[in-house]
């Protein structure tokens, strides 16, 4: 939840600064979106609690937020995710 709040704040900052994704980042985002949809089963797609458009828009906001997020916070997020994965084992 904390990262969602951080992403929202950084997304707002990126918007205020007029930031956009460059061509490489846009391709990476498109691949991420494609991978997301390819990994879902048909019944999962049919039972999503939000629209397809909302999911894509959210992924776009996250990509832009990650663009402006400080490097130390990005490293902290990776460490946090690794810790969570370890706890789930």
Maximum mean pLDDT: which of 20-34, 54-68, 71-85:
20-34
CA pair distance 41, 9, nearest whole angstrom: 32
pLDDT (average), residues 57-79: 71
Helices (H), 1-89: 2-16, 23-39, 42-46, 52-68, 71-88
CA atoms of 51 and 21, how far apart (whole Å) = 23
Nearest by Cα to 36 from 23, 21, 54: 54
More reliable by pLDDT, 44 or 76: 44
At residue 9, the pLDDT reads 82
Contact between residue 15 and residue 82 where contact means Cβ atoms under 8 Å apart: no
Q: Is the pTM of this model over 0.75?
A: no
Residue range 39-53, pLDDT digits in tens: 988 898 899 898 999
Q: For the chain, what is the mean pLDDT?
A: 78
């Amino acid at each position: 939840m904390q990262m969602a709040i951080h992403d929202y704040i950084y997304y707002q900052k990126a918007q205020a600064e007029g930031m956009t994704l460059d061509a490489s980042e846009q391709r990476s985002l498109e691949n991420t979106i494609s991978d997301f949809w390819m990994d879902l089963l048909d019944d999962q797609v049919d039972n999503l609690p939000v629209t397809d458009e909302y999911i894509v828009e959210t992924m776009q906001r996250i990509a832009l937020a990650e663009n402006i997020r400080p490097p130390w916070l990005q490293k902290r997020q990776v460490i946090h995710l690794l810790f969570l994965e370890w706890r789930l084992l």
